[in-house]
A and B are shown apart, each in its own frame.
Chain A
Amino acid sequence: MDLSTLTYIVVGATFLLYIGIAIWARAGSTGEFYVAGKGVHPVANGMATAADWMSAASFISMAGLIAFNGYGASVFLMGWTGGYVLLALLLAPYLRKFGKFTVPEFIGERFYSQTARAVAVICLILASVTYVIGQMKGIGVAFSRFLETSYETGLVAGMGIVFVYAVLGGMKGITYTQIAQYVVLICAYTIPAIFISLNLTGNPLPQLGLIGSMADGSGLTMMGKLDQVVTELGFNKYSEQVLGSKLNMFVYTLSLMIGTAGLPHVIIRFFTVPKVKDARSSAGWALVFIAILYTTAPAVGSMARLNLMQTIQTGPVGEATANLEYANAPQWFKNWEKTGLLQYEDKNGDGRIQYYNDKNPEMAAKAESYGWKGSEMVKVDRDIMVLANPEIANLPNWVIAIVVAGGLAAALSTAAGLLLAIASAVSHDIIKGMINPNISEKNELLASRISMAGAIALAGYLGFNPPDFAAGTVAIAFGLAASSIFPALMMGIFNKKVNRTGAIWGMISGIGVTMLYVFQHKGIFFVPGTAFLGDMSPNWFLGISPNAFGAVGALVNFVVAIAVSKMTHEPPEHIQHLVEDIRVPKGAGAATDH
């Protein structure tokens, strides 16, 4: 059976499964519409949280970033897992004890201010919409390959699917759908990784293959071989290349960790577990399921890079016949060319492909002597690596079909979770909480659907010109959440003296600093051509990339909030009692409904 038919069947079957589960679970639990986690075992809740949280950025984009940034990409691995420690230790149990439904609601009550709530809603929407842009990029890549069309067409098709999906089953009662999506995406990620690890190193466990030896009889370790292959072509040494600088890596990791603990669609999962106790362990289970993918990703990234390099450079560098002839390029190469995400240009007209680092002066000089006229792989979009990986490694077609289904599962489950967070902020916090408290349930639902549609349209539109690769775009969203929501929540729990004025100015200055920094380098709301400082490292403050700036914003938030609180009145007595109350588990009511 040919690949596209098979892909249609596998993707179609998984979609039917999700929709089926959504309908089944919904019929059984209309009363628990919003209270997704109630009565769900912490392990199951952890699995659903993992699916909710692992997005196109984790699934599609991250291994590609690892493949091309090597050690430097460790920031994503540590950043997107270490945040769960902060979440479990600093936020989850207390927010569960507080027992409300949305993040702005907590901020509004703790800081006894509708203004604080409104500022939190705006921060939440900014972070979530940016995050959805990242998903759209991932969905666009997956669909363009799947339908064998351009990225733009793929993006439009993806927007349509997300719209139908979010409106049909994207509500909170779909924990079980997300469990199914987790199973699909984790199988899709690990099966090809096991095959490839077995091929290259003879070890079926990718985590061990990463540190293992090559199975080709060369006696080299996998990492040693990879370092050798990439440095011979003038690229940075894989196991040692840093992302910008050590300081940038440090701040980047911190930004992602704090952002993880500040993203509303993750936090709300802990509002609704049965007990405070469960909020603690649920974060641990979520991390276990996330770690299965995250500890596999370094193997996927490094092995994909090795396979890619060796497909093109088949023998010793410099030997005329050692470069792949374009006419003999494998099918995957031609397929990805159609999407425009892989581009080849025969600069020296020899009909062969030369792929090397022409920015490296030493290598460029050497290449000159071989008769090479610049690297001929003019575009290799990093986001295609995971999807192309099984094809590059010559794995059977059914594996490729599953990977496409897995990528879509990852993107859809996260997009649905985010859209729900946006919709609940608009309908619950703004319309019901501030504008019209007497709104009927039907109209509240309508408002949330309209805001979902608006968010999809906006994110899709901005997705035509994404500010970065999927994972980079998502990193910016984490920065926005890190600089606004996390500090407000943490101070709300751990510092009784932080008051209304402090919290409001803290959030505004934190997200303000971060946005200013991101926009001046990436364009105002990412619209190309509106950046007033170039997006290049010489223009960066202390060499910190815009994607990593959230940690600085968070620091500004903490400092401003505490300083302003010291200069203004203490919070009223009953608020200080409220804080004391959320610090002890005793007396936590059942998960509240709304």
Chain B
Amino acid sequence: MDTKAAQYWKANIRLVTILLVIWFVVSYGFGIILAEPLNAIRIGGVGLGFWFAQQGSIYVFIVLIFFYAARMNALDREFDVHED
């Protein structure tokens, strides 16, 4: 693997790692592990932990995928590995 390809792959892994950390924190972190303490914060009629578990995490997931797609498309161009 030449260095450029290695750099591209490294940048990709970095991006994926950061996004998966966020993915983990909003669902497993806020939605399950920290749900009780977070429930002290109310958002309308429900606790914040409950809200993340049943609403918030899903919204964050969508943002993560589109952010990834946009970032990767930019990376593809930067390293000149894009299609056509």
Residues of chain A at the chain B interface (Cβ within 8 Å) = 66, 71, 74, 77-78, 81-82, 84-85, 88-90, 93, 207-208, 210-213, 221-224, 239-240, 246, 249-250, 253-254, 275-277, 280-281, 283-284, 287-288, 291, 294-295, 298, 580, 583-588
Contact = CB atoms under 8 A, between A and B. Distances in A.
B65 A221 contact: no
Nearest to A580: B1
Q: Mostly helix, strand, loop or mixed at chain A's interface?
A: helix
Contacts of A84: 61, 65
Given A212-B45, A288-B62, A586 B83 contact: yes
B68 A280 contact: yes
A280 B72 contact: yes
A298 B54 CA distance: 7
A74 B53 contact: yes
Contacts of B83: 275-277, 585-588
A291 B66 contact: no
A71 B43 contact: no
A583 B45 contact: no
B27 A88 contact: no
B23 A85 contact: yes
Interface in B38-70: 39, 43-47, 50-51, 53-55, 57-59, 61-62, 64-66, 68-69
B68 to A, nearest CB: 6
A364 B27 CA distance: 37
Contacts of A88: 65, 68-69
B33 A246 contact: yes
Interface of B: 1, 5, 8-9, 12, 16, 19-20, 23, 27-28, 31-33, 35, 39, 43-47, 50-51, 53-55, 57-59, 61-62, 64-66, 68-69, 72-73, 76, 80-83
A291 B55 CA distance: 9
Contacts of A85: 19-20, 23, 61, 64-65
B1 A212 contact: no
B28 to A, nearest CB: 6
A222 B46 CA distance: 9
Given A78-B31, A85-B64, A210 B55 contact: yes
B75 to A, nearest CB: 10
A85 B57 CA distance: 11
Given A281-B69, A585-B82, A210 B46 contact: yes
Contacts of A580: 1, 5
A213 B45 contact: yes
Nearest to A87: B65
Contacts of A93: 72
15 contacts: A71-B50, A71-B53, A78-B27, A84-B61, A88-B65, A212-B44, A239-B39, A246-B32, A249-B32, A277-B73, A277-B82, A291-B61, A586-B80, A586-B82, A588-B83
B16 A89 contact: yes
B80 to A, nearest CB: 8
Contacts of A211: 43-46, 51
A74 B31 contact: yes
Contact of A222 (B12, B28, B45, B81): B45
Nearest to B16: A89
Given A77-B58, A85-B23, A280-B72, 14 more contacts: A77-B53, A77-B57, A81-B58, A82-B61, A85-B65, A210-B46, A221-B44, A223-B50, A239-B39, A240-B39, A240-B50, A291-B61, A294-B58, A585-B76
Nearest to B73: A277
A555 to B, nearest CB: 15
Contacts of B81: 584-586
Contacts of B16: 89-90
A249 B49 CA distance: 14
B55 to A, nearest CB: 6
Contact of B45 (A71, A223, A283, A588): A223
A275 B16 CA distance: 20
Best-surrounded residue of B5, B28, B65, B68 (most CB of chain A within 10 A): B65
